[in-house]
Amino acid sequence: MSEMDRENCKYTNLTMKINSGFKEKIALRNSLAKETLSEFFATCLLIILGCGCVATSILSNRSLDAYLTNNLGFSLAVTLAVYVSGGVSGGHINPAVSFAMCLTGRLKWAKFPFYVIAQFLGAITGSAAVFAIYYDALYKYTGGILTVDGPNATANIFATYPQPYLSVMGGFADQVFATTLLLIGVFAIFDKKNIGCPKGLEPIAIGLLILVLGLSLGMNSGCAMNPARDLGPRIFTAMAGWGMEVFTSGNHWWWVPVVGPMLGAAIGACIYVLCIEAHFTTDSENKHRSTEHDHYEKHELNNMA
């Protein structure tokens, strides 16, 4: 080994030791703190990428392909967010999902408020990032007047609003139904007793689930299915210049994408457990059935003999 190679090796080892020492100093020891930070960061990422796609569509006047662009963008954003946080917190990025996990014993209730607070703070932070990135474009598009309704409305970059024809009860049913299907799909994808999904591909399956739900059920109000994704950015827009109209628009629509998904998540979890999960056989039952089957085969062979 030459002198230069030895020096490079020493430098590499020194760098690795420094990096290792730095990671050990900043590493969180508490598992709940790790999970909370993971949910915050992943939800922030979801809003930056998802709402960023909506901003691109609206501010560039791409009305023809906006529906497909927005649904694809949010689906890919969810996929990446789950990849980022899935190994730490499960990648819920949605209070409705966390609620369903608590209801079915997959998440401790003590963790629920921490997950939800992290998700809401992440959504608000992500909204602020999108606002900062598109600040100049927003003011060029709106002339400095930020509105919720009208031809130059931009509040819908951040939160969902109903179509003019949609009633509040119709929108509530829409959110309950969509989130019910979302949770049935999520439970099926992660259920190892079912067909399941190959390890490492679960986020892609979740992204495809979001895509099909958005394309099939998103026309009425954008198919939020996520209280943090909707209320977090809505709170930000109220503070950033759109005012309190973000809460009164659409016959006080704001509560629908908050309450509807929570109810839908509970219904979806119950449907999956009652209709699918509860009917899988246990390992002991499988072993007993296998023994019975072997005994039956031996009996048949003895008779043939």
Domain map of the chain by residue range? 29-291
Tokens of 81: 């967010």
- When pLDDT is cut at 50, 70 and 90, the band that residue 12 belongs to is low
- Model pLDDT for residues 132-166, shown as the tens digit of each residue: 999 999 999 999 999 999 889 999 999 999 999 99
For range 112-123, the mean pLDDT: 98
Neighbour count for residue 228 (Cβ, 10 Å) = 32
The answer to which of 61-75, 180-194, 246-260 has the lowest mean pLDDT is 61-75
159, 54 Cβ separation under 8 angstroms: no
Neighbour count for residue 287 (Cβ, 10 Å) = 11
HSE at residue 299, side-chain half, CA atoms within 13 A, is 6
Identify the helix (H) or strand (E) that includes residue 298: helix 283-304
Q: How far apart are CA 69 and CA 53, in angstroms?
A: 7
pTM above 0.75, yes or no: yes
Topology of domain 29-291 in CATH is Glycerol uptake facilitator protein (1.20.1080)
- When pLDDT is cut at 50, 70 and 90, the band that residue 301 belongs to is very low
162, 221 Cβ separation under 8 angstroms: yes
